[in-house]
Chains A and B, each alone.
Chain A
Amino acid sequence: MAKLFKNMFATSESTALTLGEELAQKGVSRRQILKFSSYVAALMALPASYSTAIAESLSKARRQSVIWLSFQECTGCTESITRSFSPSLEDLIFDFISLDYSEALMNVSGSAAEAARKQAMEENKGKYIVVVEGSIPLDKDGIYSVSGGHTNLDVLKEVAKDAMAIISMGTCASFGGIPAAHPNPTGAVGVHEIIKDKPIINVPGCPPIPEVMTGTIAFLLSLGKIPELDHLGRPKAFYGDNIHDRCYRRPFYERGEFANSFDDEGARKGYCLFNLGCKGPVTYNACATIKWNGGVSFPIQSGHGCLGCSEPGFWDKGSFYSPLSTPTSGLGKAAMGAAAVGTAGAVVASLVQRKRRENILKAAAVPKPTETKLGADDE
């Protein structure tokens, strides 16, 4: 763990080298970068053959300066991304970034920490990425959340000014999340309601899947572009599919086989959880494919319906346990609509993946790796 933190907080000497050079100095072979790239390609639903192109551009890139701001939040998002630390392949992302400021993770505190942030902003003007975790309270001039004498609102505006892009990590930073839940006592909002002149990538989830967070950062780093986003500003690679359309319980839904309580016959047989309040039909996220804890399982596989945590206002949409067709807050109709579409089910998943990948590639304009004659120099 200590080594990983050290990796993230790069020295100025290491930021001057390209990643390829820096890793070569450490005795890291290119196979390692290729392996990481194939991991990123798999995550982003890019054709895995693009991993070669990603590996090339990654090794020519320099460490990316990242400033991580924590506002009204529970630190669950940091917790989630740092859980992806232990597997050695995912560690590599931390060799690629220079986390110049993070209240939760950095050693220094007080004015020294503020100085580090200011220095990173100065040295990487227009080039640093800001990651925001947590919502921003607006009521009473933002006085509900203050750090070092500055409101979250002031810090966000100051740091965003010279940023290359902002990643709103988690549902709170993306849409206000739980702090903004009724009656929203602090007037909490997401980043996009304050910052209007910078590219913002929303990575919602309570918390987001670690691979989705690292994948989004790795995409920015290796392709130097904002990934294609949906109408809510979420990367389509991860939020392009409906949980219901990708759910392995979908065949039971089609056959009308439902669990009606958590310990009935249907629940034991792994039937569809719609009647137990599953919000899968109106939720867009990668839980059904990337899953959690390195692909071990996800809520529906563990027997609980989806809570819909990557959607705006998920906390205020009625009980987690009432079926979507029960009209609680206008969700009923939407759910029925969504559930009626896409009856083709999981067998077309491969086609869906291909279509999605084509769109992502179009947006990213990734050069198609050309075939190489064996033995020929590929330059």
Chain B
Amino acid sequence: MTKAPSSCHENDVPLTGLSIALLPEIIAHLQDLAEKLKKGPVFAQEIISLRGLPMTREDIEDLDKHLGHGEVNAKVEVAGNSDVWETSYSGVWRVRHFGTDDRILVDDIVIAVIPEILMAHKDDISASVLRMNDTILNLQQDGIASNQTKSLD
């Protein structure tokens, strides 16, 4: 896991209480999601953006301490790195996108079955069909070519 950048006043920055204040908001979304899922599988995600809140590094660390670490850890390597992990509360995820120098650009709490960033997009899937088709055709042609060479021997 990449470390959050340090502030200039590491020891001076206090806890503002915002980490605790966020927990009721998270549980409200989680409850919503649980209700929706009772009616069948849906894709819905609620996101709380921590970078839009005046939280100190200590606040965010404190929040992560309360949320804990769950069973899933993922890395997304596109346009810089991203860490995605499920917290100890199933359905509550942390999504963190980094710039270079490990600077945090997006720091979100995502309440969802699975965060959208982990899902494959339908356009990419369509492109994959074409690409895999090309690969199969190439392999088949290679196969035909090598069989022809063999039969010539």
Contacts and interface: CB of A to CB of B under 8 A. Distances in A.
Interface of A: 20, 24, 28-32, 34-36, 38-39, 41-42, 45, 47-49, 51-52, 59, 86-92, 246-248, 251, 268-270, 288-290, 293-297, 301-303, 346-347, 349-350, 353, 371-375, 377-378
Q: Give the top 3 A-B pairs by smallest Cβ distance, nearest first.
A: A87-B99, A294-B103, A48-B47
A155 B152 CA distance: 75
Given A29-B121, A35-B97, A377-B122, A42 B49 contact: yes
Interface string B35-63: 01000111111111101111010000000
A47 B113 CA distance: 18
9 contacts: A35-B117, A42-B52, A42-B105, A42-B106, A87-B100, A88-B80, A247-B54, A302-B8, A353-B52
Given A35-B79, A52-B116, 14 more contacts: A30-B123, A31-B124, A34-B121, A45-B49, A45-B52, A48-B108, A48-B110, A87-B101, A89-B98, A269-B12, A296-B103, A301-B9, A349-B18, A375-B41
Contacts of B49: 41-42, 45, 48, 353
A270 B43 CA distance: 44
Contact of B99 (A30, A48, A90): A90
Contacts, number: 169
B79 A371 contact: no
Contacts of A41: 49
Nearest to A296: B5
Given A24-B127, A89-B105, A248-B14, A36 B79 contact: yes
Contacts of B6: 296
A270 B53 contact: no
Contacts of A270: 9, 12-14
B124 A29 contact: yes
Interface string B123-134: 110010000000
